[in-house]
A and B are shown apart, each in its own frame.
Chain A
Amino acid sequence: MAMSLNNLPDFLLTEILLRLPLKSRVQCKGVSKHWCSLISTPYFTRSVVRHCHTNPHAQPFIMILEYKDKYLSNRLLVINSEPELKFLTAYIYKLRKQLWLEASCNDLLLCLAEHRFDGNRCYYYVINPITKQGLALPPIPKPQSFTITGFIYNNSDNDIVDKQVSFSYRLVMLKVGASEAHIFSSDTGKWSVVGYSKEFQVACFPSSAVPYKGLLLWCGTNGSLLAFDLYNSAGNRCFEIEPPIEWEQLMEQPIERGLMKFIDCLGLGVCQGCLKICQILVQSHICVWEFKDYDNKGGGEWCLQHKVSLKEFVSEKSLWLLLTQSFFITVIGFHPINGDILYLGIRSKVLICNLGRKTLELYCDFPEANHYSASLLFPRKACFFCPGTGGRLLAFDPYIARSCRLIGKPIEYESLGGTDCVGVCQGCLRICQISLWFRLGSVLRVWEFEDYDNGGGGQWFLEHEVFFNQLVSKKSPWLTQYVPLKFPFVTVLAFHPNDGDILYLVIEMKVVLCNLRSKTMEVFCDIPRL
């Protein structure tokens, strides 16, 4: 019973810490070495994921919508489910100023940059908004026809267990006109082409691809799904999943009745790890099906979960909604955790539709929306960003993605400057400085970098410190004369790749070999004058 806060057993401490929000969890790694190792274990990550699946509040999410505003330009609406995600929302808005958001998969975003100086190619980036890091993909030729892009990365439970597993992703570019898909694999670094049935028509909204158990799925206008199996050892495979049996043909054209227009719609998404599809027949009802798969490879069947007549919906807070419900409706997406909730777009509003309680409530407005043409308002893209999912924060390690890292200068380095050079000798990073300390004589120093983690952390050690007036030159005794007198002309050219004692200098248009151990200098060759 003598248990207190500082001697809680690890398994109980784990149970407490995994209930913290993401930010606090990361902060707590800094409490002590013991906590840091506890929070970094695969067991902890797995426990967090398990906890998130049972508690909707433990898995906050962000909804990203792109739509056309009244100036007909594409605009972003980012909605955070919990206030703690505000910092991410702000970051995504900022990101949007430079990049187009193309797709999302769990906690990573796929962005597209159209380079100002290179109009023929496009540049994709995988961005982790939490750590604010990105990976650049090899540029690809800009497609000439209309394309839709989807993105998926390996996020099965097995991968989370081993955080060393390499980050492997696939990018699929659907060329709608040509009925072919261009697939990029990060494992091979190559693009490949897979054709699909010409009869398959991608639904214009939602056009976003849905990642599900290693498959990337698109919804067709007839309720069937186009699935890409991208983590198959036998190669990329493309197949179709049939629509539910109860699926009713959607009206392709709006029906006009008096001043009202009606149009049916459908939606595809993932909720609690299950694939869901829904259709709204504006004259009658909403149906939601869940996919029960039996082999994790796309085989399975749809089970009807909800069938609710539109007349049954009530709206307590915003009664006017009932008057407009038979207008243009779009399915924005499924709540990632709560299976009863659907997000709908009606006119310039985002609504929460609760199929269990049969309620319809206003969630938020599209700012500066186009009120006149409802069809333009259909969000072009909708994606969900779930920062709690997976162990990406651990596995998508900052060191892997960091492209630029500042290594501090050696302690003895003279800030007054001089001439210096950086190079590698015997696989070790080296830096050399010739100081401009005239009165005390010029000094040549060489430091070697000893890193302790291969990630840029380390220390400089002084290897050599030689005064120029100590140097002798047997074969060309005149050489030493130049050094103190015509100092500015002495520059360090390079390090010998294998011999740590040898430096190449340039003195008076001559390449000079300088041995720091024997303290000798010899002319190596001349630099031809032009």
Chain B
Amino acid sequence: MSNTSENPNPSSSSAKITLKTSDNELFEVEEAVAMKFCTVKQYFEDEKDNDVAARGSSTVIPLPNVHSAVLARLISYCKKLPQSNAVADNHEEEETKKKERKQYGTPGDLVDLISAANYLDFKEGLEFFNQALADHIQNKSVEYVRKFFGIKGDFEPHEEEKYREEYAWAFEGVDED
């Protein structure tokens, strides 16, 4: 995904902010979108305090921890944010939200998105991607979760058996992997 496709309509009158990613790509985004990222907002406000003249698109904000592909996805998520972030209040809405989350990519992609959203302090995005990852392991067996996260179980067999006996109710009715 290249940054040009993310460039907003040039005729738009709103102020633009330029973001520079770890692979030195430049993104010009609308101020309203960029302000969703609290890290950017903080940086931007500090800049403004320091130098009143240096305002607008002339400032380039470096984001050394974010790759361009990830940032592009975050920006596109940002743009369709208003309708997708409303709290669902019935089952059908919740189901459609679930489907939407599922389409958001592989677990690997999600981890990139989560770490970027965390770095940018982008709360709505973090919430959404965390939930999307949680959906992947919901109602799955312990073995599945271990494989999914690449974790080796370090419980002794008798400890594990004891635990399963203790919380037998939690191990009933697990989804197929």
> Could you list which residues of chain A lie within 8 angstroms of chain B, going by C-beta atoms?
1, 3-6, 8, 12, 15-17, 19-24, 26-35, 55-57, 84, 87, 130-132, 338, 398, 457
Q: Which residue of A lies closest to B175 (CB)?
A: A24
B39-47, B52-60, B153-161 - the one binding chain A? B153-161
Do B167 and A57 have beta carbons less than 8 Å apart? no
Contact B114 A12 (CB under 8 A): yes
Q: Cβ of A33 and Cβ of B88 under 8 Å apart?
A: no
How far does the alpha carbon of A26 sit from the alpha carbon of B166 in the complex, in Å?
Answer: 11
Which residues of A are found within 8 Å of B131, using beta-carbon distances? Answer: 19
A5 and B107 in contact (CB under 8 A), knowing A31-B151, A32-B152, A55-B87?
A: yes
Q: Is B10 an interface residue (CB 8 A)?
A: no
**One of A15, A21, A56 near B126 (C-beta < 8 A):** A15
Cα distance A236–B150 in the bound complex, in angstroms? 54
Contact of A1 with B65 in the complex, beta carbons under 8 Å: yes
Q: Which residues of B contact A (CB under 8 A)?
A: 22, 65-67, 87-89, 94, 107-108, 111-112, 114-115, 118, 126, 130-131, 133-134, 137-142, 145-146, 148-155, 160, 162-164, 166-167, 169-174
Known contacts A8-B111, A28-B137, A30-B160, then 4 further A-B pairs from the complex at CB < 8 Å, ordered by chain A residue = A5-B148, A6-B150, A23-B169, A31-B149
29 A-B contacts (beta carbon < 8 Å): A3-B112, A3-B115, A5-B108, A5-B148, A5-B149, A6-B150, A8-B111, A15-B130, A16-B130, A16-B133, A21-B138, A21-B139, A22-B170, A24-B137, A26-B170, A27-B142, A27-B171, A27-B174, A28-B137, A28-B142, A28-B145, A29-B167, A30-B142, A31-B149, A31-B153, A34-B154, A57-B94, A84-B139, A457-B162
**Complex CA distance for A130 and B169, rounded to whole angstroms:** 7
* Residue of chain B at shortest CB distance from A81: B91
B87 and A30 form a contact (CB under 8 A): no
**Chain A residue nearest to B67 in the complex (CB):** A1
Instruction: Evaluate contact between B145 and A31: CB separation under 8 angstroms.
Output: yes
**B159 CB to closest chain A CB, in angstroms?**
9
Contact A56 B87 (CB under 8 A): yes
**CB within 8 Å for A35 and B151 given contacts A3-B112, A19-B131, A27-B142:** yes
Question: What is the CB-to-nearest-CB distance from A9 to chain B, in angstroms, rounded to a whole number?
Answer: 8
Q: Tell me, in angstroms, the Cα distance from A398 to B169 when the chains sit together.
A: 13
Query: Roughly how many angstroms separate A87 CA and B167 CA in the complex, as a whole number?
Result: 14
CB proximity of A315 to chain B, nearest CB, Å: 16
Complex Cα spacing A21 to B135, Å: 10
CA distance A31 to B149 in the complex (A): 10
Report Cα–Cα, A20/B87, bound state, in Å: 17
Which A residues are CB-close (under 8 A) to B171?
27
Give every chain B residue within 8 A of A56 (Cβ-Cβ): 87, 89
| Complex CA distance for A31 and B140, rounded to whole angstroms | 11
Contacts of A26 in B (CB 8 A): 167, 170
The A contact surface, by secondary structure, is helix
Q: What residue of chain B has the Cβ atom nearest to residue A6's Cβ?
A: B150
Contact A5 B150 (CB under 8 A): yes
Q: How far is the CB of A448 from chain B (nearest CB, A)?
A: 20
User: Across the interface, which residues of B come within 8 angstroms of A12, CB to CB?
Assistant: 114-115, 118, 130
Cα–Cα distance between A227 and B151 once the two chains are bound (Å): 51
Residues in B with CB closer than 8 Å to A20 are 134, 137-138
Residues of B within 8 A of A3 (CB): 111-112, 115
Whole-angstrom distance from the CB of A36 to the nearest CB of chain B? 8
- Chain A: minimal CB distance from B151 (Å): 5
Contacts of B130 in A (CB 8 A): 12, 15-16, 19
A87 partner, pick from B111, B140, B146, B173, beta carbons under 8 A: B173
CB distance from B50 to the nearest CB of A (A): 28
| Residues of the A chain whose Cβ atoms lie less than 8 Å from the Cβ of B89 | 56, 338
A31 x B142 contact (CB < 8 A): yes
Nearest chain B residue, comparing its CB with the CB of A54? B87
User: Which chain B residue lies CB-closest to A338?
Assistant: B89
Nearest-neighbour CB distance to chain A for B124, whole angstroms, equals 12
Q: For residue A25, which residue of chain B has the nearest CB?
A: B170
B169 and A33 form a contact (CB under 8 A): no
By a CB distance below 8 angstroms, the chain A residues around B141 are 27
Min CB distance, A279 to chain B, in Å? Answer: 25
Q: Which B residues are CB-close (under 8 A) to A130?
A: 169
Distance between Cα atoms of A248 and B26 in the complex (Å): 65
Q: Are B108 and A4 neighbours in the complex by a CB distance under 8 Å?
A: yes
Q: Give the residue among A20, A22, A29 with the most B Cβ atoms within 10 A.
A: A20
Chain B CB within 10 Å — which of A22, A24, A56, A131 has the most? A24
A15 to B141, CA, bound (A): 20
Of A6, A16, A35, A398, the residue contacting B134 (CB under 8 A) is A16
Contacts of B22 in A (CB 8 A): 1
A87 contacts B172, CB within 8 Å? yes
Q: For the complex formed, measure the closest distance between the CB of B142 and the CB atoms of chain A, giving whole angstroms.
A: 5
